[in-house]
Structures are given as structure tokens and as C-alpha cells.
Amino acid sequence: MVVEKTIGFEMKNLFLPTILGVVCFSNFLFPFNPQTNANLKSSNLEKENDHVAKPAIRTTQAETVRKASEDLRLGKEGMRVGAAKLLGKYPSLQSSVTLVGALDDSSALVRRAAMVSLAEHSSNGHPLYEKSLVEKVFSKLGDSDVEVRREVSSMIPKLISGLMRGGMEITEINGRKVYRSVPARLRTDLFELTLRSFLDEDAIVRQNLLKYHPYLRVDLPASILIRLLGDDDSGVMLAALDRVSANADHPDVLAEIGRLSKNPSKGIRLKVIDVARDSSRHHAGYRSILRSMTKDEDLEVTSMAAVELARFGERIPKEVISDIKKYLLSSRGMNSQVTTILYAVSAMGEDGMEVYLSLTEHSSSRMRAIAWQRYLSMNKTLDQSSTWMSALKDRDKGVRDAVIVSLRGRIKDLNADEVGELVASEFADVRIFAGQSMVLAEEEILADYGFELLIDENPLVRSTTLRAFGMRRPPGWIAIMSKSLLDKDYDIQRAAMDALLGDRELGVEALLKYLEKNPTARISSLAKSELYRLGVQP
Amino acid sequence: MRIRNLLLLLIFISHCLQEVLADQINNSEYGIRIMQLLRSEKGTRRYPDALPSLLATMNEETTSRFDTDPLYLSDLTDERLMENPILYVNCDDQPNLEFSMEERDALRFYLEQGGFVYLDAGIKASFLGSDLGHSYAAWEERPEVRELFDQIYPDQPFLPLPRNHQIFRTVYKGLPNNKDLKIEADQKRLPETVLDFVEKEKWPQGTYSFVGLKVKGRLACVASPICAMGWGKDEFGAWIPPISFRIRESADDFDEKLKLASFSGGTYEVVREDGLKDVIYSESGHRPMWVQEPKGRWRIFKYYSGEEISNYAHAFYTRLGMNVFLYALLN
């Protein structure tokens, strides 16, 4: 490349006087030809650019793949590795065939690189589909190199569509062509290989086989499952636990799960709870395992086992409920496990209420919010403010909001002390709630506290109370609304206008008076259109 | 006189704020509350469990006590901003990084009064485009972040944090322990090529590409490629979601071969740690193909996935996240 460029440059230099001469002459003949001027400019630019290295010209994809395929077949080991890696960037049948061919290379490095590139083709949306090629790839589950086996085992889901294709074959019997269907299942030797691979010496291969064998429609024999449930590697053990359901009624599997329920690893024990819950429909023994796990030394395990039993409708002993309470109280906020337990406590009915009540004191605001919501929804004594008043003193607005949503519309007949407590709250949202409760409050209470809320510092408290006044219409309400129309706050004006519109006689009259005096006020145009809708000409 | 009074008032406010922050730090009843910017609760969030999981892990693995429920702020003018010492922002979760003048003022005031801001996904290599699930070690903040902070601190740029910075070793030092990677004495979970690249180039000594901004001599804001993807755990304590590795691999003849190999996509420049630029070759709809490094070396990108790789990445990102939050708390 470099040599060519040097020659080109020297050639140009050699003929430069002649070229320039021709250019000058043609310029002399055609002085106003823009095309010629442009050519001259570009020629000068080219001359300048010749000093800067030009990027090399890239080959076509077909040429790149052809060259890499050649290198992969004939090059030295390092070159073969490079070619295998490069072919991963060009998904096509040709490069796939070449890469599959390299899976029998004598060098493990080349085989690895080829397998990684085939996986790359799949990831980029070009999986192998030709059955014979896919079978070749899958057969590498028996490769001597562990990396190759790992890569194949993790590729199983991507190989399935090609591997499990059914089809048609033509055989000749006594000179006659016979068409026979080929079933969509693994070739016998590959099936045997899969069974052997469940017990591969590499833990990751074992784990991948456990995860993906259903894709291959290869059942996991109970004897192998039992061996894998006792595997040294926890990853394999967890993957095996996921596969219990198919053999859940096998007595040896049940015994093995019972043994694992005492495994020193908490993760395994939690997984056992999951398995025991799902398998309990196959054998009653799994419920016994769950019951025994409610005595686990770890409170999280105890709680999980207990809530699963509660979901089955079993009554949970007092001491276990106390353990659940202890666990939830000691947890430092919500995580998935805590969330599961927290919601599942509802299944304990009356006993669950006690747990929720204790959690209303939890340090986590999300936990307190859920506990309050659940507690109030299960509680039948909402008419007693002592049940919920403390919730409205919570430091977190999210908790208070959750409680107010649960209370709204469910409480009536608040007495003066209770309303007084709400009105005196430091939180605006609670005072808004107090304003809303004025709708149902006794007249005396409305008179005592309503006016206090009407002069609240928070405009939302004022507008909410004003709306309550509009609904209750206590003596003097027209005057209050008329004055409120003069408020600076639009929400207040709007609440007053809505209230006045609700009374076709006195209210509308007051509104008309206001419009007469304040025809250009902010609320006036809206008030006029609302009056038109009522058939009143302002 | 007026100016003096104003100054006295400012000093008083600042003193009060510092006391509030100190109170929060020592708040033994509830734990320290981390704030997270969440413009809208309705939008799709990439890793909603990430921060709570990280905070729970910090509670488990250190003596610190964090409230595992982040305090979500939708606006930086929220008065609660001044009540808590650390603000976490996942830049990928925001519809944009445009802040009103009031919010920028609040942010400046917060930083000047001792607050710390962690901009996760505050670094994002240009070739990633709208692809949110990738973390790539570029060494400069994303343009939106630069634009935002240019308006707050026009003369103060983000600077790369050196590998020996304290932030990378506040609690954990180095990469996750290899014992987790060993199946048997002579066998590791990760392929040798992957482990070698990770240890030497991707995350040397457990560090990553971070840039930081100092305010009054204190590191007050850091930006990193997305790390939250490595913090989440499911109910069995298993890491979610799966993470794969992008590894640079070479071969005998790549320096010549990749120069000439067929390519029809676009190239992107990405700033390296040394300030030079890598040129990334990427085709639309595909993962990046290869890289031309400034010293003339060409390497190809290969992608490795699997449970063991994912677990390793999660362990790394979680340790890194813990280091950042505890650094913020202690400095």
C-alpha cells in the first residue's frame, strides 16, 4: 500500500510541470469555466493531502470471510485463533460452516475461539439452524477442553431450534423410495452424551445442564438428581433444587430435601422452603419439612416457612408469630424477602393484625406505611381514633398519605377533641384531612374548628375547608365565600366560586355582585362561563 | 451594614444546615437516608431495586446503618434535599438532565454546604447511544452532565479520579476475592482470558473510570458509568439482572488484519484514562466490533456471559458502590 502511494506521489512530481502547463493553457482558453477551476482546486488539495497517510482501503465482507476461512484452515495456531475470532463478526452460513469445521481443530485455543464466535453469531440474531451443523456443535459437550464444554452448555437454548427440528428422510427399500418422518428429538448418541454431562467434572457444565435439560426434552433421572442435590458446589445444588418437581414424589428425593432443610447455608434452606411449597401437592412430606423449618435458628427462614404454611391455611403457633414479629422488626427496611413475608402475614388473619400493629413502629417508612394500611384494612374499630391517630403523627409524609387514604370515607362522627388534634397537627396534609372531615362534623365542631382552618397558613387547607363549608352551608357562609372570592390564591377563589354556584338563589346572587364589582378579576371569566351554563346572564 | 447582616445570616444558615447533616449522619434510630432523584414515578426505571439492595448490603457488611428506603425527590428545590447528606442520581433514569435555575441554585447550595452527589451513568461513551444496559469505561462525563455543571460551576471541570484515590478503597480494596471464583483448587470459574483482562485492564485493583468535581477543595460530586445494574438482589439473595463482560482480545495478526477487514458502520472516539482516544468500530444493531488503540494496537471485542461472570460483576459493582457511599459519608 505504502509503496503504491510513494510511486503515485513521485509520478505526480515528475509530471507536475506538464500537468500545470496543461492546466494553465486550458485556463487561458476557458478563463470562466467553473468546472475547470474546481478541478484545479481539487488537484491542489489532492497534492496537499498526499503528505497525509490515507486510511487503508478495506476489503469486502466476502473477501474478509474468504481470507479468514483460509487462515483458519491453513494458518499457524495464532493465526487460526485470530481468524476464528474475526469470523465471529460476520454472521453468515459460510463463516458458520467454517467455524463449525474448526471445532475439531487440534488446538483447544482455536476450538474455544470458534465456539465463542458461534455464540456471538447467535447473540447477534443469526443462530445456527442447519441440523447437522447444530448437532456438531452440541457434540462438543464431550470436548476434552473445559472452556469449550462450558461454552456449548451455556449455548443450549440457542441451539434448540436447530437441534430439535423434525423432518423427513427418504430411504430406498427394494429399489422403492420410502419417505419417513424424522422425530423432533435428540440423536441417540447426543442423548447419551447429555445424560453423561449431568455428571461432568466441571461444576458450570453440570449447572448449565440442570438449567437447560428441559429444552432438550431429556428427563433428569431421579438417581442423578439425588446425586446433584448433594453436589459439592452450591450453584449446582441450587440448580438441582429447581428441578425437584419432576421427581418430587420419589421417596429418596423427599429424604434428600429433608436433609437439605438443615443445610448450613441459609440460601439453600430458603430455596428448600420454595421447593417444599411447590412440591407439597406431590407429597404430604413436604409440609412436614416446612413445619420443621419453623423451628430454624434463623428468623428469616422461620418466617418464610411459617408464611408458606399460613398460605396453605395452617394455623401458626404463637411462638412462631412472635419470631416473625422479631424478624420483621429487626430487618432494616424493605427487601424482596421482607416484602414477601410482610404481605404474606395477611394470610394469618387475626394473628397477622398483631404483627402489623407492631410493625407500625418500624424504622423503615415503607414498612410502616404497608403495616398501617394492612392493619387498618383488617381493623373493625376505625371509629375509635386511638386506632389510627398516632399514624397521623408519623414523620414521613408517605406513611401519613397511606393512612389518610385508608381512612378517607371510612370514619365519621369525630368528636371535638379528635378534630382539635387534627387541626393542631404540624403537618399540612393532616390539616387538609381535618378540613375534609368538616363535611361530616357536628355543627358545633364546624363552628369551633372550621374557622381556625379557614385562616390556616396553607392555601390547600383553606380551600379544602372552604369546600366543606360550601357543602355544609353554616350561617354566614355566603359572606365567607364572597370574601374568599377576593383572596389572592386562585384555589381559594375557585373553591368559593364552586360553592356559590351550588346555591342557585343566594350563591348565584353573591357571585353576580362580585362580577359586577370585579369584571376583570382572574376568576371572573370562568365564573361568567359557569353562570352561562346555568342559564344565568351575568 | 446590610451586607454584614446578610453574611451573618448566611453563616448562621450554613451552621444550622451542617448540624442537620451531622444529625442525619448520627441518626441512630432510622439510619442515614440516601436521596434519589426521581423526576416522575410513572416512568420506566432501569434498576428500581438497585439502591435499596445496595443499602441493605451495606447494613449487612459494615457497621454503618442506612435506611434502606431511599428518599425520592422529584425536584431539587425540595426542602428535604438539605436534610440529607447524599444525593444519588441515575442519569439514565431521568427524562433529561435539564434543571431550572432554582434547582441549579439549590444544587450549588447543597454542594457548598457539604452535600455529596453521585451521578451514576454520568459517564456514557458516545457509541452506546440509547443502549442503557452497558457500562463502558470512558474517562469523561457525558455531555448533558458537562452542560449542567457548566452552568453551576463554569470554571470547574470534572477531572478523572486517579486509580489510587481513596474512593476506591474506603471499605473494600481490590477485586472481589478469588475464592468465590474457585470451584476446585486448580480450576477457576472465569475463563483465563476474561480474568486476565479484568484484573489488568478492566478493573485494575478494583477501580473503575470515575470523574469528580471538587467544591471548596472537597470532592463533592462524582460521575461513573452505570454501576446500579450490579447492585440488585432477588429474594434468595441471588444477583439480578445477568451481566456479561466485554473483553478486548488480540491475536497474532490483528494489527494488520483489522485495519483491512470489512466494515461498514461508524467509528466513535472514546477518551481513555491517559487522555488519548480509542476509536471504537461499531455497526448499527450490533455490539461494538473492535477498537483501534492510540498506540497502533487493534483488538477485537468479545462478549462472555454466564452466571459466574455475572456474579463476579455484581460483586465488583456492589463493592464499588459501597466504597462510593461510604466515602461520601466519611469525607
Tens digits of per-residue pLDDT, A268-310? Answer: 999 999 999 999 999 999 999 999 999 999 999 999 999 999 9
What's the confidence (pLDDT) of residue A342?
A: 85
Confidence class for position B144, pLDDT limits 50, 70, 90: very high
Best probe of the B interface among A336, A339, A343, A397, by most B CBs < 10 A, is A336
Determine whether the interchain pair B183/A365 forms a contact, defined as Cβ–Cβ distance below 8 Å: no
Give pLDDT tens digits for A89-120.
Answer: 999 999 999 999 999 999 999 999 999 999 99
Average pLDDT on A68-84 reads 95
Label the pairing between strands B32-37 and B218-224.
unpaired
Determine whether the interchain pair A85/B189 forms a contact, defined as Cβ–Cβ distance below 8 Å: no
d(CA A23, CA A39): 9
* B133 and B253 housed in the same domain: no
CATH number of the CATH domain containing B221: 3.40.50.12140
Is the pLDDT confidence value at B149 over 60?
yes
Confidence class for position B48, pLDDT limits 50, 70, 90: confident
Distance of alpha carbon A306 from its chain centroid, rounded? 28
Is the pLDDT confidence value at B308 over 50?
yes
**Is the torsion defined by CA of B27, B29, B32, B37 positive or negative?**
negative
**Is the torsion defined by CA of A512, A516, A518, A519 positive or negative?**
positive
DSSP string across A470-505:
HHH--TTHHHHHHHHTT-S-HHHHHHHHHHHHT-TT
Best probe of the B interface among A121, A330, A335, by most B CBs < 10 A, is A335
d(CA B70, CA B79): 16
Size of chain A, expressed as the number of residues it contains: 538
Report the residue from B55, B67, B254 with minimal CB separation from A82: B254
Determine whether the interchain pair A82/B257 forms a contact, defined as Cβ–Cβ distance below 8 Å: yes
Residues of B in contact with A57 (CB under 8 A): 260
Determine whether the interchain pair B262/A60 forms a contact, defined as Cβ–Cβ distance below 8 Å: yes
Q: A155 CA to chain B: closest CA distance, Å?
A: 10
d(CA A482, CA A493): 9
Residues of A in contact with B303 (CB under 8 A): 120, 123
Determine whether the interchain pair A59/B259 forms a contact, defined as Cβ–Cβ distance below 8 Å: no
Report the residue from B56, B237, B253 with minimal CB separation from A79: B253
* B107 and B206 housed in the same domain: yes
Give pLDDT tens digits for B218-264.
Answer: 999 999 999 999 998 876 677 888 898 999 999 988 998 999 999 98
Is the pLDDT confidence value at A44 over 60?
no
Which SS3 state, helix, strand or coil, does residue B299 take? strand
Task: Give the residues across from B35 on adjacent strands.
Answer: B71, B87
Average pLDDT on B147-153 reads 96
Task: Give the residues across from B246 on adjacent strands.
Answer: B303
Average pLDDT on A384-402 reads 88
Confidence class for position A36, pLDDT limits 50, 70, 90: very low
Size of chain B, expressed as the number of residues it contains: 331
What's the confidence (pLDDT) of residue B70?
A: 87
What's the confidence (pLDDT) of residue B132?
A: 55
Is the pLDDT confidence value at B213 over 50?
yes
Instruction: Please provide the average confidence, as pLDDT, over all residues in chain A.
Output: 85
Q: Name the more confident of B208 and A387.
A: B208
Best probe of the A interface among B71, B257, B309, by most A CBs < 10 A, is B257
Q: B273 CA to chain A: closest CA distance, Å?
A: 26
Average pLDDT on B30-35 reads 84
d(CA A412, CA A410): 7
Question: Among A241-245, B26-30, B51-55, which stretch is predicted with the lowest mean pLDDT?
Answer: B26-30
* Residue in chain B nearest A341 by alpha carbon: B235
| Three cell numbers, residue A337 | 424477602
Determine whether the interchain pair A86/B189 forms a contact, defined as Cβ–Cβ distance below 8 Å: no
Peptide bond into B157 cis (omega under 30): no
* B272 and B227 housed in the same domain: no
What's the confidence (pLDDT) of residue B26?
A: 43
Average pLDDT on B92-120 reads 94
Report the residue from A60, A82, A120 with minimal CB separation from B303: A120
Average pLDDT on B283-298 reads 88
Q: Name the more confident of B130 and A356.
A: A356
What's the confidence (pLDDT) of residue B153?
A: 96
Residues of B in contact with A89 (CB under 8 A): 261, 289-290, 300
Report the residue from A82, A90, A365 with minimal CB separation from B252: A82
Report the residue from B53, B69, B300 with minimal CB separation from A86: B300
Average pLDDT on A383-402 reads 88
* B148 and B264 housed in the same domain: no
Q: How many CA atoms lie within 13 A of A208 on its CB side?
A: 25
* B263 and B165 housed in the same domain: no
Determine whether the interchain pair B68/A60 forms a contact, defined as Cβ–Cβ distance below 8 Å: no
d(CA A209, CA A224): 12
* B192 and B262 housed in the same domain: no
Is the pLDDT confidence value at A33 over 80?
no
Determine whether the interchain pair B303/A233 forms a contact, defined as Cβ–Cβ distance below 8 Å: no
Matching residue, cell 491453513:
A74
Report the residue from A116, A270, A332 with minimal CB separation from B236: A270
Average pLDDT on A355-359 reads 90
Residues of A in contact with B191 (CB under 8 A): 112, 147, 150
Q: B22 CA to chain A: closest CA distance, Å?
A: 19
Matching residue, cell 462524582:
B222
Determine whether the interchain pair A154/B306 forms a contact, defined as Cβ–Cβ distance below 8 Å: yes
What's the confidence (pLDDT) of residue A41?
A: 43
Asked if A382 and A388 touch (Cβ cutoff 8 Å), the reply is yes
Asked if B99 and B122 touch (Cβ cutoff 8 Å), the reply is no
**Is the torsion defined by CA of B138, B143, B148, B154 positive or negative?**
positive
Q: Hey, how many other C-beta atoms are within 10 angstroms of the C-beta on A402?
A: 22
Residue A461 phi/psi, 5° resolution?
Answer: -65, -45
Residues of A in contact with B238 (CB under 8 A): 267
Best probe of the B interface among A2, A72, A86, by most B CBs < 10 A, is A86
Is the pLDDT confidence value at A266 over 90?
no
* B173 and B293 housed in the same domain: no
Determine whether the interchain pair A150/B66 forms a contact, defined as Cβ–Cβ distance below 8 Å: no
% residues pLDDT > 70 (chain B) = 85
Best probe of the A interface among B235, B287, B308, by most A CBs < 10 A, is B235
What's the confidence (pLDDT) of residue A352?
A: 86
Instruction: Please provide the average confidence, as pLDDT, over all residues in chain B.
Output: 85
* Residue in chain A nearest B240 by alpha carbon: A336
Is the pLDDT confidence value at B293 over 60?
yes
Q: CA geometry: angle at B96 spanning B92 and B102, to 5°?
A: 125
Is the pLDDT confidence value at B119 over 90?
yes
What's the confidence (pLDDT) of residue B23?
A: 47
Total of domains in chain B = 2
Residues of A in contact with B69 (CB under 8 A): 333-334, 364-367
Q: A447 CA to chain B: closest CA distance, Å?
A: 35
Determine whether the interchain pair B289/A366 forms a contact, defined as Cβ–Cβ distance below 8 Å: no
* B58 and B92 housed in the same domain: yes
% residues pLDDT > 90 (chain A) = 53
* B26 and B63 housed in the same domain: yes
d(CA A514, CA A531): 13
Report the residue from A58, A81, A267 with minimal CB separation from B261: A58
* B172 and B210 housed in the same domain: yes
The parent domain of residue B160 ranges over 2-242+307-330
Residues of B in contact with A339 (CB under 8 A): 235
Residues of B in contact with A277 (CB under 8 A): none
What's the confidence (pLDDT) of residue A7?
A: 35
Q: Which helix (H) or strand (E) holds A355?
A: helix A350-359
Residues of B in contact with A154 (CB under 8 A): 305-306
- To the nearest 10 degrees (0 to 180), the angle between helices A299-311 and A318-330 is 120
Residues of B in contact with A85 (CB under 8 A): 249, 251, 300, 302
Q: B184 CA to chain A: closest CA distance, Å?
A: 9
Asked if B137 and B225 touch (Cβ cutoff 8 Å), the reply is yes
% residues pLDDT > 90 (chain B) = 51
Q: A433 CA to chain B: closest CA distance, Å?
A: 22
* B193 and B117 housed in the same domain: yes
Residues of A in contact with B263 (CB under 8 A): 58
Determine whether the interchain pair B53/A335 forms a contact, defined as Cβ–Cβ distance below 8 Å: yes
Label the pairing between strands B211-215 and B159-160.
antiparallel
Q: Which helix (H) or strand (E) holds B302?
A: strand B298-304
What's the confidence (pLDDT) of residue A3?
A: 32
* Residue in chain B nearest A363 by alpha carbon: B30
* B295 and B317 housed in the same domain: no
Is the pLDDT confidence value at B14 over 50?
yes
What's the confidence (pLDDT) of residue B188?
A: 62
DSSP string across A249-282:
T-HHHHHHHHHHTT-S-HHHHHHHHHHHHHHTTT
Determine whether the interchain pair A89/B261 forms a contact, defined as Cβ–Cβ distance below 8 Å: yes
| Three cell numbers, residue B86 | 447524599
Residues of B in contact with A74 (CB under 8 A): none
Average pLDDT on B2-7 reads 55
Q: CA geometry: angle at B322 spanning B317 and B324, to 5°?
A: 95
| Three cell numbers, residue A76 | 499457524
Is the pLDDT confidence value at A31 over 50?
no
Closest by Cα among B31, B220, B230, B24 to B118:
B220
Kindly list the strands in the beta sheet with B66-73, ordered across the sheet, starting from the edge strand earlier in the chain: B66-73, B32-37, B86-90, B116-120, B218-224, B211-215, B159-160
* Residue in chain A nearest B287 by alpha carbon: A124
| Three cell numbers, residue A271 | 430455596
Report the residue from A78, A116, A363 with minimal CB separation from B302: A116
Determine whether the interchain pair A332/B67 forms a contact, defined as Cβ–Cβ distance below 8 Å: yes
Q: How far is CA A530 from CA A134, A248, A485, A497, A533, in A?
A: 74, 71, 15, 9, 5
d(CA A43, CA A23): 10
Report the residue from A58, A333, A339 with minimal CB separation from B67: A333
Confidence class for position B39, pLDDT limits 50, 70, 90: confident
